[in-house]
Structure 1
Amino acid sequence: MHDDNSNPPVPQPRLILGSTSRYRRELLQRLRLPFEVSAPDVDETPLPGEAPAALATRLALAKAQAVAQQHPNAIVIGSDQVADLNGQSIGKPGSHERARAQLRLMSGQSVVFQTAIAVVCCASGFAQQDLAPVRVRFRDLSDSEIETYLLAEQPYDCAGSAKSEGLGISLLAAIESDDPTALIGLPLIRTCELLRQAGLDPLASTPTGSAA
């Protein structure tokens, strides 16, 4: 009789995405890890004089911590994105009128999309964060181009009113980044690194797909 001395696979820790963003959910699915989604209860109001990068970093960590406190044994991902135009924070427009105003403001300008990532696990005491800035240069946009784009894609839930993964790419002249998925909402290179540090390696075992 043959004895199988192989060790059983070590179960992966439970993974939770602390975000309701469908863009972040779709990005995290690329890693083929099972994960759940939980909405963080966090006040996203900027502090007086808070710089865009500081705001994004603070909120990413706050989102991860808020969900991690409810699920202390899980590894929780939090993320936030703020568009930075010469030190001015630009968030999600929420309406056609505000989106139009944002794109008019950014026309012909260089904007840094500050995308922060945080990974927290209360049980292990792990809490790390990182920032993935992406510099985007917008073309000089006419009012008719702005209106055509907004009616076609309605990017009212996107910081900066442009979906680079869609028709919004036509608004841009250049993108500079070392973590390109950051512009969509979740910097996957940095996410993988923080997950490995937290004890969850996307390549450590056979992936089973997303449970989101």
Structure 2
Amino acid sequence: MPDFSDRLPSAGRPALILASSSPYRRELLERLRIPFDVAVPAIDETPLPGETPEATALRLAEAKARAVAATLPANAGRTLVIGSDQVATFDGKQIGKPGTHERALAQLQAMRGREVLFHSALCLFDSASAEAQSVDVVTHVRFRRLPDATLDAYLRAETPYDVAGSAKSEGLGIALLEAIQSDDPTALIGLPLIALTRMLLAAGYPLLEAA
């Protein structure tokens, strides 16, 4: 967790922090051309018993934002903290990050020719008001029917072992997908920018002026 003790209130706009360890979310936020810090929240991401995928994603997104906000010093000024979490579901079960080649191959084998739902939850927490804006953006992804050898070759080429669903749609993994349906094109990568910009504008953040 970064040390925010030297943070001073910014003139004209609140400070912005991305509460995430994900390099993908950081790269997406950089598209907005606004200054931000990154902090890794220390929370337990285990789903609760009986919790729906949407509820898990929303709870963890807000928990990440609040955990980072709780570390801010008293003189930090108004700070907006972005929390995000993604849960993939297939056949009613949550799909985690595979972690290994073997588990990733098993995921892709099970999902070929099938539809997977990705719940990309987003939270914007305002340290001044202690209010949180939250939303769950759902993306429907249909995987192509591909042979084991093709799936294995893809995994060895891109090694997507740190993403739920075992395929990076922003990279070579797009070749594994038959269709993507979503109201927010960056949600599948991990950070719904349409929803985020809407939240920032609602919070009074001078988005285009800052850029």
Q: Taking structure 2 as the reference length, what is the TM-score of the superposition? A: 0.90
- Quote how far apart the aligned CAs of 1:193 are: 0.9
CA distance in 1, matches of 2:72, 2:193: 23
1:23 aligns with 2:1: no
Amino acid at match of 1:100: L
- The alignment yields a C-alpha RMSD, in angstroms, of 1.4
Q: Which runs of 5+ in 2 are unaligned?
A: 1-9
Distance in 1 of aligned mates of 2:93 and 2:165 = 12
CA displacement 1:118-154 (0-9 Å, x = unmatched): 0002222221100111000001121101100000000
TM-score w.r.t. the length of structure 1 is: 0.90
Which amino acid counterpart does residue 85 of structure 2 have in structure 1?
D
Q: Confirm or deny that 1:120 pairs with 2:121.
A: no
Q: For residues 62 and 118 of structure 1, what CA distance do their matches in structure 2 show?
A: 9
Distance (Å, rounded) in 2 between the aligned partners of 1:52 and 1:201? 33
Larger Rg: 1
The whole-number CA distance in structure 1 between the counterparts of 2:19 and 2:191 is 12
Matched residues, number: 198
CA distance in 2 between counterparts of 1:132 and 1:197 reads 18
Aligned-partner Cα distance in 1 for 2:59–2:13: 28
User: What letter is aligned with 2:13?
Assistant: Q
Structure 1: segments with no counterpart, 5+ residues: 1-8, 208-212
Corresponding position of 1:185: 190
How far residue 201 of structure 1 moved from its aligned partner, in angstroms, is 3.2
In structure 1, the residue matched to 2:134 is 129
Could you tell me how far 1:198 is from its partner in structure 2? 2.0
Contact 1:51 1:87 in 2 (8 A): no
Q: Which amino acid aligns with 2:135?
A: D
For the residues of structure 2 that align with 1:206 and 1:92, how far apart are their CA atoms?
A: 35
For 1:139, the aligned partner's letter is: R
In 1, the alpha carbon distance for the partners of 2:210 and 2:190 equals 26
Matched-pair identity in %: 58
Aligned mates of 1:144, 1:178 — CA distance in 2: 33
Moved more, 55-64 or 123-132: 123-132
Q: 1:131 to 1:201 in 2, by over 3 A?
A: farther
Query: Could you say which residue in structure 2 is the equivalent of 1:101?
Result: 106
Q: Which residue of 2 aligns with 1:161?
A: 166
* Alpha-carbon distance in 2 for matches of 1:109, 1:51: 20
